[in-house]
Amino acid sequence: MLHPRLPGLLLVTTLILFLYSQRTSLATHINQLSWQVERRIVDWNWKDTPEEKLCRATDHTTPKHSKNAIPNIVHFILLAREGAELDLTYAQYLAIKAALLRMDATQVKVHTNGIDATNKWWRDVAPKVVLETVDTTGILDHHGVPIANMDLPHQTDILRIAILLREGGIYMDTDVYALKPFTDLLNSPRDTLMGHEGGNHYGLCNAVIVSRPGSDFLVKWQKTYTTFDPKKWNEHSVLMPKKLQVRYPELLCPLSPSVFFWPTWGKDHIRYMHEPTSPADVDALLHNMTVFDGAMYENQLAIHAWSTSSKEHLRQLSPEFVMGTDTRFNVLLRDVANAAL
């Protein structure tokens, strides 16, 4: 006869073993709770995880492989509402221009369903980019509905995965500003790379995606859109790729927040980047840019401006403002603003 406590002990033991086996997924789920998100994303100890270090390793620690390099093709998406034409802003122009000047890309592609060809900023970059026409009315979601019916940001969420699956390369939102080439990422042993969002590493932000064509990670991510809910703003664009990375760690290289996504979208961080700063702070930034080849931090490749949170700051950008007002953002982009294509 079994000891009366034995079934209970077996149940507790089984539960403990199950929770232990699922500890990484459970930690990710807890980390993605909406409780005090802004406070948690800006809190970071500036220590990269072992996996983040491995994904940027350029020495013998990088696993050997025989895969082709990720194409050094940069993709931007510019969408307008059906029947309309997008009027390129100066902030968007700077992002495209920075990619042209700083990334040593074989091509910079702009995928659009309509752009105002008379726009002065567009006329400047148009001869240097490859224009790809997108028919959003002919692209269906997983429920057979044209993606043209979605909000524009969600349309681009779907398109960027499809473009990279087909062509590979580097996708960047038009509020991401390249600081230097992505050369050391292109020979990654894993087919897709994304950067952590937040000091708490709660998500992988889709504002920058680096990938080989046909990536298994992108295939799995694309399939999750069968459960897409437009009311959950970042569920599939930030939270889902993190969940997939935890489940399939061999398919994606996660990068430190400082590679693409630091500072964050927190209010203090937005002010830090866009409000006027002192001559001493400018000198300190210029020193870092000299040491780190144009970047604020040693491993930084691009700066994300978080246009939803910084829209008022981005709207005021102009050649005169960038050249004449000392903000950290302006100092980082001055050589781009001042250069001829």
Task: Give the right CATH number for 50-57+64-256 from 3.40.50.720, 1.10.3720.10, 3.90.550.20, 3.30.428.10.
Answer: 3.90.550.20
Q: Domain boundaries in the chain?
A: 50-57+64-256, 267-338
d(CA 74, CA 71): 9
Give per-residue pLDDT as tens, 65-114: 768 999 999 999 999 988 899 999 999 999 999 999 999 999 999 999 99
Average pLDDT, the chain: 88
Q: What pLDDT sits at residue 33?
A: 47
The answer to whether residues 337 and 318 touch, using CB atoms and an 8 Å cutoff, is no
Scanning the chain, the segments in alpha helix (DSSP H) are 6-21, 23-31, 37-41, 50-55, 90-102, 120-125, 152-167, 216-223, 240-247, 257-260, 267-274, 279-291, 307-315, 319-324, 328-338
The arithmetic mean of pLDDT across residues 157-186, rounded, is 97
The arithmetic mean of pLDDT across residues 147-152, rounded, is 84
Q: What pLDDT sits at residue 38?
A: 64
The arithmetic mean of pLDDT across residues 145-154, rounded, is 84
Q: What pLDDT sits at residue 254?
A: 97
Nearest in space to 210 (alpha carbons), one of 310, 302, 332? 302
pLDDT above 70 as % of the chain: 86
The answer to whether residues 238 and 197 touch, using CB atoms and an 8 Å cutoff, is yes
Give per-residue pLDDT as tens, 259-302: 999 999 999 999 999 999 999 999 999 999 999 999 999 999 99
Q: What pLDDT sits at residue 89?
A: 98
Q: Convert 322-333 to b/e letters by CB count within 10 Å (16 or more is b).
A: beebebbbbbbb
The arithmetic mean of pLDDT across residues 320-340, rounded, is 98
- pLDDT-derived band at 60 (thresholds 50, 70, 90) equals very low
Q: How far is CA 71 from CA 127, 143, 167, 242, in A?
A: 21, 31, 8, 23
Q: What pLDDT sits at residue 235?
A: 85
The answer to whether residues 169 and 73 touch, using CB atoms and an 8 Å cutoff, is yes
Token pair for residue 82?
């059906």
Q: What pLDDT sits at residue 18?
A: 53
Higher pLDDT pick, 152 / 170:
170
> Residue 20: pLDDT above 90?
no
The arithmetic mean of pLDDT across residues 26-45, rounded, is 58
